[in-house]
Amino acid sequence: MKTAAIISIGNELLSGRTLDTNTKFLTENLLELSVPTVAVYTVPDDIEKITRACRLAADDADIIIATGGLGPTPDDLTRNAFAAMLNSPLKLQQDLLDKIELYFKSRKINMSPNNKNQACIPKGSTPLPNNLGTAPGILAKKTGKIFAALPGVPSEMKDMFQNSLRPILKQLPKEKIILIKKLNCFGAGESKIANTLGPLLDRDRNPLINITIHFGRITLTINAAADDQNTAQNLLDADIKQIRDKLSTIIFSEDDTTLPQTIGKLLTEKNKTLATAESCTAGLLAKLITDVPGSTAYYTQGWITYSNKSKTQMLNVTEEIIEKHGAVSPQVAAAMAQNAKKLAAADYALAITGIAGPKGSTPDKPIGLVYIALASEDKIKTEKFIFSHDRSFIRERSAQTALNILRLKLISNS
Ligand code: ATP
Ligand code: MG
């Protein structure tokens, strides 16, 4: 199987000023071409270090893609590093210079002399056209390996990859086909899922299954490799079936479909409406719901009732209930949900009240204590959670968990 290594170039990537999003884009797109990435190097704007990374990357992989350092300034050294690594001097190409000059002329900007550097590529290599900027990319072959240098600017890098490099990589003979499916889960911890899946998670099996976690959402990525498309598809389908049998309703979606999108689909199918009443999440739940285009079809309204007074004034939660049980209590969560449903005349209402911290805890009400209530038909269901980590995590997790409670209700009705 052909493999890739990526070299991300730039001081800003090592100082934390810039997040390396180019690698994310490239690794995902290469995998779609059945080319897994086996190594990623991040190096500063330093010719020795770039050259060394190119050599190391060529030990690891068949396709080496560098991004960054193709600009015109003295800290842009990828051209020189490629020349050193290929053992081939930089040569000015008149056709590239003409294009760069035209780029500036058509924008009525004076070209600075150092932009001329961008028309130089190592002798024997091929330029990759840049449709969005001045710097052409470089494509070179050495001892059976493919080397490509793409710009650092993410939009230019993506355009050059899609329009110039992808067609070339697509034509390479495929030794293996890789197919990928993501299954997204909510409502069980990572270790419980791992225990349930057991040997399916073995590292030496095909398909290989990886687990990642993000605010309570657990994603299983299934990678099936085979000599031909059919075998890979059969391997993938067999694993998807086994995992679905084992995890059942814990799985809420496939690939990039989010929990709010899943809720939206279910509510739309059932022609039902939803309202929200939020205390500690203060609109986060409403935001997640309305991030989905078309949410107007099912989301009616939401209340942010942060203070006790607002809970009473806006949602008719009685002062007595708040006084007796406290604002963070199952009774208040239930009253918020019940009254929100009634006031909005919605089919469902979700309510959240909790202690996001870092202050506000009491001995019997710790940070992370959250009550979530769902009012539906003539019933109210309230659940208690104690989430860990920090304020933003607790708030995000609370909103996502509320959505999951609604999802489980909606699928149990079907
Ligand atoms: P330029 O002509 O702008 O100098 P370049 O090809 O030399 O282009 P860089 O100078 O390395 O590229 O980076 C240009 C911009 O792209 C910078 O703002 C940088 O932060 C951003 N960038 C570079 N590499 C990455 C990366 N791996 N992920 C995300 N952004 C990046
Ligand atoms: Mg630069």
Tell me which H or E stretch contains 40. strand 37-43
Two tokens, residue 265: 């689909």
Give residue 242 CA to ligand 1 midpoint distance, Å. Answer: 43
Nearest CA to ligand 1 atom 25: 152
For residue 156, give the ligand nearest its CA. 1
Q: Counting beta carbons within 10 angstroms of the beta carbon of residue 69, is it exposed (0 to 12), middle (13 to 18) or buried (19 or more)?
A: buried
Name residues with Cβ closer than 5 Å to ligand 2, which is an ion. Answer: 71, 76
Two tokens, residue 77: 């050294």
Nearest CA to ligand 1 atom 1: 71
Instruction: Please give the pLDDT value at position 176.
Output: 87
Rounded mean pLDDT, 293-304: 98
- Looking only at the bridges linking them, the beta strands covering 137-142 and 274-278 are unpaired
- Look at the block and give the residue holding tokens 């909103």: 399
Two tokens, residue 386: 């104690």
Two tokens, residue 377: 């038909």
Give residue 68 CA to ligand 1 midpoint distance, Å. Answer: 5
Q: Which regions of 84-144 does DSSP assign to beta strands (E)? A: 90-92, 120-122, 126-128, 137-142
pLDDT digits (tens, 9 = 90+) for 371-401: 999 999 989 999 999 998 899 999 999 999 9
Q: For ligand 1, say whether the CB of 136 is within 6 Å of any of its atoms.
A: no
Mutating to test ligand 1, I would choose from 41, 153, 156, 157 the residue with most ligand atoms within 8 A of its C-beta, which is 153
Q: For ligand 1, say whether the CB of 10 is within 6 Å of any of its atoms.
A: yes
The answer on pLDDT for 363 being more than 90 is no
Backbone angles phi, psi at 94, to 5 degrees: -60, -40
Q: For ligand 1, say whether the CB of 130 is within 6 Å of any of its atoms.
A: no
Q: Counting beta carbons within 10 angstroms of the beta carbon of residue 203, is it exposed (0 to 12), middle (13 to 18) or buried (19 or more)?
A: exposed
Strand partners, 221: 182, 210
The answer on pLDDT for 268 being more than 70 is yes
Instruction: Please give the pLDDT value at position 361.
Output: 86
For residue 75, give the ligand nearest its CA. 2
- Looking only at the bridges linking them, the beta strands covering 120-122 and 90-92 are antiparallel
Rounded CA separation 76/94 (Å): 20
Give residue 132 CA to ligand 1 midpoint distance, Å. Answer: 14
Instruction: Please give the pLDDT value at position 1.
Output: 83
Instruction: Please give the pLDDT value at position 389.
Output: 87
Q: For ligand 1, say whether the CB of 151 is within 6 Å of any of its atoms.
A: yes
Instruction: Please give the pLDDT value at position 149.
Output: 98
Give residue 149 CA to ligand 1 midpoint distance, Å. Answer: 12
> How much is the mean pLDDT over the chain?
95
Rounded CA separation 134/96 (Å): 9
Q: Which atom of ligand 1 is nearest to the CA of 23?
A: 27
Instruction: Please give the pLDDT value at position 74.
Output: 87
Task: Report the range of poorest mean pLDDT among 130-134, 197-201, 247-251, 297-301.
Answer: 130-134
Instruction: Please give the pLDDT value at position 360.
Output: 84
The answer on pLDDT for 183 being more than 90 is yes
Assign 10 a pLDDT band (cuts: 50, 70, 90): very high
Nearest CA to ligand 1 atom 31: 152
Backbone angles phi, psi at 216, to 5 degrees: 85, -15
The answer on pLDDT for 413 being more than 80 is no
pLDDT digits (tens, 9 = 90+) for 32-64: 898 999 999 999 999 999 999 999 999 999 999
Rounded CA separation 266/403 (Å): 12
CA distances, 260 to each of 284, 339, 356, 406, 408 (Å): 12, 23, 22, 10, 13
- Rg, the chain, Cα only: 27
Assign 127 a pLDDT band (cuts: 50, 70, 90): very high
Q: Counting beta carbons within 10 angstroms of the beta carbon of residue 313, is it exposed (0 to 12), middle (13 to 18) or buried (19 or more)?
A: exposed
Give residue 153 CA to ligand 2 midpoint distance, Å. Answer: 8
Task: Please state whether 209 falls in left (phi above 0), alpha (psi between -120 and 50) or beta.
Answer: beta
Q: For ligand 1, say whether the CB of 157 is within 6 Å of any of its atoms.
A: no
Assign 414 a pLDDT band (cuts: 50, 70, 90): low
For residue 152, give the ligand nearest its CA. 1
